[in-house]
Structure 1
Amino acid sequence: MRMADEEQLSGWIDAKAAAERLGVKPATLYAYVSRGVLRRRQAPDGRRSLFEAAQVEELARRGRPRRPPGPGELAIESAITALGADRHYYRGRDALEMAGSRTFEEVAAWLWQGRDEPREPEEGAEPWRARAEGVAAAVAAQSGLPPGLLPLDRLHLIAAALAATDPLRHHLDPEGVVATGRALIAGLVEALPAANRAPGGGRGGEGSGGRIAERLWNRLCPHPPGDAGLLRAFEAAMILLADHELAASTVAARVAASVRADPYAVVASGLGVLSGPLHGGASYGAERLIAEVADPEAASRVVGERLRGGEPVPGFGHAVYKSGDGRAALLMDLVRAAAPGHDRLAAAEAVLAEAARRRLPEPNVDFSLAALGAVAGLVPGAGEAVFAVARTAGWLAHALEEYGRRGPLRPRAVYVGPEPS
């Protein structure tokens, strides 16, 4: 090669080196070129593509570019959760791995502050304990509610009662929001009616010790967690659901926080959107689906009737994870390990087999959450409550980001109405 050619190639690397540095397939490099993310040139021999080394290095440090927002999507910069091909990452950590080794409290602290919380609270640290006045007010507020109300419907009222009795709710500094978050989540749990009277299953602040997952179990399950494996699966579900980037309820929560609404109002905004059947309410549909399968032989009829009626089969398909939801797979594996041979697990497995036979989309986390509820014997609508309490951690993490910014979020409409006159 001539000296001029060597000088001309200085600062450029071939496709193999660029792909290895970025951790992508060579085909992805050319997708980046077509989107204007990377520059490419031909080598003097005409047989190789070259990429600017400095640009590749900058991209490697910054992270892979996400695709441009699609129709109906709003792009907001956030350092909390990244979505991968089949799983999500909390501040760079694999959420599936965290679900297998961390407590819900540890994951919430990581989402809020980006640092590990010690297993034993430090001296002077705020505990995960509800304010007694708030719980008492929330319990009293529920006295006139009709029996059989689903837990998620109660959580709306509980959040409002907790807010009304907290004189510090307008403290929006990071330490204040974290302290409020701990008390708020504990209050949401402790003000729910107790499904059993195991330790930690009391009401109105009674028996409020133990981890949040165990406290919530005692509100949603008529019997104590006799099997440690099922309780572990329950807490793993909370960790997996703690955040999922800019889901609809999180956008609502961020908009509220951007105008400096207090943390309780942020959570109330998220709860309002979460209840929709295309979001957190989807687990209730999957729960009822499994409940209809009295025995495995009924799965074909139950799934077939929904398809015949033009209804979607709840618990299958995901807008992000087209090839499979890793959260669903992990949670189902935990349920299988905890309760092999359980008749409700057999019903869920039969639905999965029937969905695969009919080539439906892959199951999502809503289905696995419903399967956990069926096997554990949780009260109707428990999946929605698990989702709501867990996602409160994520909503407050996003609120903390918004509180640190200056202006409100203000999406703009693309006007398509009549010409203004």
Structure 2
Amino acid sequence: MPEGFPAMEWIDAATAAERLGVKPATLYAYVSRGVLRRRHGDDGRRSLFSAEEVERLARRGRPRNRPPELVIESAVTALGVDRPYYRGRDVLELAATSGFETVAAWLWTAGPALPHQRPAPAGSPAGSGGHGEESAAPSGGAVWRCEPQALRAAVAAQQGLPEDLLPLDRLQVIATVLGASDPLRHQLDPASVSDTGRRLIAGLVDAMPQLSEPQGESIAQRLWSRLCPAPPAPGLLHALQAALVLLADHELAASTLAARVAASARADPYAVVLTGLGVLGGPLHGGASYGAERLLAEVAEPRQAARAITDRLRRGERVPGFGHSVYTNGDGRGGALLDLVKEAAPEHERIAAGQAVLAEMRRRRLPERNIDFSLAILAAVSGMVSGAGEAIFAVARAAGWLAHAMEEYERGTLLRLRASYTGPPIT
């Protein structure tokens, strides 16, 4: 039994749900609200619940001390103790064995079966790809492409924008133009949405200003060339590829919930992704990586870590890149990504600065680092432009938003939340 759990009886989700008279999805809402505790079984995947807590809750009745939560049944992603599982597959395993394009296809269609080795190198036989062109791809399928005319329009739409505009702001402009130029955007069957997803993600990347020469045809290789003026070291490119996989989805995060609401209203895939992009930049979501970048920039040398943290705490601010509402004991995605960056550039001075920040946070017994902090270290070590972490997050998460949109298109009913009115009496 894992450390920290007292000796007690643990029951599976089906048994707990039957005793409480609720759907299994409601159990996980109870976990997120602190009503029930959950742990994973010996296989690392099966959720177990305290029989004593379930029985106590059954006798007391459903919890009413907080407003009811919206619970949406989904087959896309489950959240584990320290990591997500994409359609049952451990995301840390996927980040080590599969490319982003392969994992996106898995999220969208649950097939074909994911490999247990890294994708074949560029030059594998090509397939065909909906909106895109036929060409050799690292995953053995078609290279994801957006047609040149649409790309030219997306590039032209950015003329006149400030040169130092953050990449996330550019992505919103690009997504708008790509949607307006796609006559197939209202076809919402799974195959069409998958084709649209490949076109959209490729366009988001390729319409950004090019800073260096792409070293290959994968989304990770092309994205690097838009975020960094120097060619990639192999280890750091591998870390970027892993980051895209690790960030592709995270159940009903704020941006994903917004994207699902848009999809439930039959908004097209471009509008779904625009909705997600609008929410993602918030400092409590994907924008946290930008805050972590700024924190690291203040730590020119390790001894400055304490002051950078103290200043934020004195102002009553959160320390960006630390703490997680789901992974209270540490974000496994952040650990996996940080290990890859350290392996690729162990002597880099930005690694030392990051380690100093980590040590200072632990000395103060403050929350553990999450993937936003590791993403900021990747960007700093690689010499990427300001706001690169947000762009990586956004490109990756577009795959997840579209997977959830497909479920809403299939469900066919509008998600309608209700407010608990607290205003003046109605006269």
Q: Is TM > 0.5 for Structure 1 vs Structure 2?
A: yes
* Aligned mate of 1:234, from 222, 236, 240: 240
2:153 alignment partner in structure 1: 137
* Aligned mate of 2:261, from 252, 255, 258: 255
Greater CA radius of gyration, 1 or 2? 1
CA contact (8 A) 1:293 1:302 kept: yes
Q: Deviations over 1:31-54 (max 9, x none)?
A: 998876379xxxxxxxxxxxxxxx
SS in 1 for 2:9: helix
* Aligned mate of 1:111, from 92, 107, 111: 107
Using the alignment, how far apart are the partners of 1:33 and 1:214 within structure 2? 47
2:31 alignment partner in structure 1: none
Q: CA deviation at 1:258?
A: 0.6
Q: In percent, how many aligned pairs have the same letter?
A: 61
Using the alignment, how far apart are the partners of 1:303 and 1:363 within structure 2? 13
Q: Deviations over 1:280-339 (max 9, x none)?
A: 101000000001100111111111111122211111100000011000110111111100
Q: Deviations over 1:104-131 (max 9, x none)?
A: 0000000000013785566444431112
2:136 alignment partner in structure 1: none
* Aligned mate of 1:172, from 159, 175, 188: 188
* Aligned mate of 1:88, from 75, 80, 84: 84
* Aligned mate of 1:148, from 153, 157, 164: 164
The verdict on how the C-alpha distance between 1:173 and 1:25 changes in structure 2, with shifts beyond 3 A counting, is farther
Unaligned runs of 5+ in 1: 1-18, 40-59, 201-208
Q: CA deviation at 1:212?
A: 0.2
1:50 alignment partner in structure 2: none
CA contact (8 A) 2:170 2:208 kept: yes
Q: Deviations over 1:326-381 (max 9, x none)?
A: 00110111111100111011100110011111111010100000011111111000
1:37 alignment partner in structure 2: 19
Q: CA deviation at 1:385?
A: 0.2
Using the alignment, how far apart are the partners of 2:110 and 2:14 within structure 1? 30
Q: CA deviation at 1:414?
A: 1.4
**What residue identity is the alignment partner of 2:88?**
G
1:46 alignment partner in structure 2: none
Residue 212 of structure 1 pairs with residue 212 of structure 2: no
2:309 alignment partner in structure 1: 303
SS in 2 for 1:144: coil
The verdict on how the C-alpha distance between 1:25 and 1:137 changes in structure 2, with shifts beyond 3 A counting, is farther
> How many residue pairs are counted as aligned between the two chains?
368
1:47 alignment partner in structure 2: none
Using the alignment, how far apart are the partners of 2:67 and 2:168 within structure 1? 30
The verdict on how the C-alpha distance between 1:164 and 1:30 changes in structure 2, with shifts beyond 3 A counting, is closer
Q: CA deviation at 1:147?
A: 1.7
SS in 1 for 2:386: coil
1:354 alignment partner in structure 2: 360
Q: CA deviation at 1:418?
A: 2.5
Q: Deviations over 1:67-99 (max 9, x none)?
A: 999758421000000001111100000001100
CA contact (8 A) 1:29 1:38 kept: no
Using the alignment, how far apart are the partners of 1:65 and 1:295 within structure 2? 45
Q: CA deviation at 1:407?
A: 1.0
Using the alignment, how far apart are the partners of 1:329 and 1:139 within structure 2? 36
Measured on the aligned residues, the alpha-carbon RMSD in Å equals 2.6
**What residue identity is the alignment partner of 2:97?**
S
CA contact (8 A) 2:129 2:195 kept: no
SS in 2 for 1:321: coil
CA contact (8 A) 2:214 2:224 kept: no
Residue 404 of structure 1 pairs with residue 410 of structure 2: yes
Query: Which moved further from structure 2: 409-418 or 165-174?
Result: 409-418
Unaligned runs of 5+ in 2: 22-42, 55-61, 131-141
Residue 390 of structure 1 pairs with residue 372 of structure 2: no
Q: CA deviation at 1:101?
A: 0.9
TM-score, reference length from structure 1: 0.82
Using the alignment, how far apart are the partners of 2:346 and 2:239 within structure 1? 14
Using the alignment, how far apart are the partners of 1:65 and 1:405 within structure 2? 29
Alignment of 1:307-322 (within 5 A): 307-322=313-328
1:190 alignment partner in structure 2: 206
CA contact (8 A) 2:13 2:48 kept: no
The verdict on how the C-alpha distance between 1:143 and 1:420 changes in structure 2, with shifts beyond 3 A counting, is same
Q: CA deviation at 1:30?
A: 10
Using the alignment, how far apart are the partners of 1:74 and 1:420 within structure 2? 26
SS in 2 for 1:404: helix
**What residue identity is the alignment partner of 1:91?**
R
CA contact (8 A) 1:213 1:235 kept: yes
Q: CA deviation at 1:388?
A: 0.4
Using the alignment, how far apart are the partners of 1:108 and 1:25 within structure 2? 40
* Aligned mate of 1:264, from 243, 251, 270: 270
TM-score, reference length from structure 2: 0.81
SS in 2 for 1:232: helix
Q: CA deviation at 1:417?
A: 2.0
Using the alignment, how far apart are the partners of 1:112 and 1:121 within structure 2? 22
The verdict on how the C-alpha distance between 1:34 and 1:83 changes in structure 2, with shifts beyond 3 A counting, is closer
Alignment of 1:34-73 (within 5 A): 37=19, 64=47, 73=69
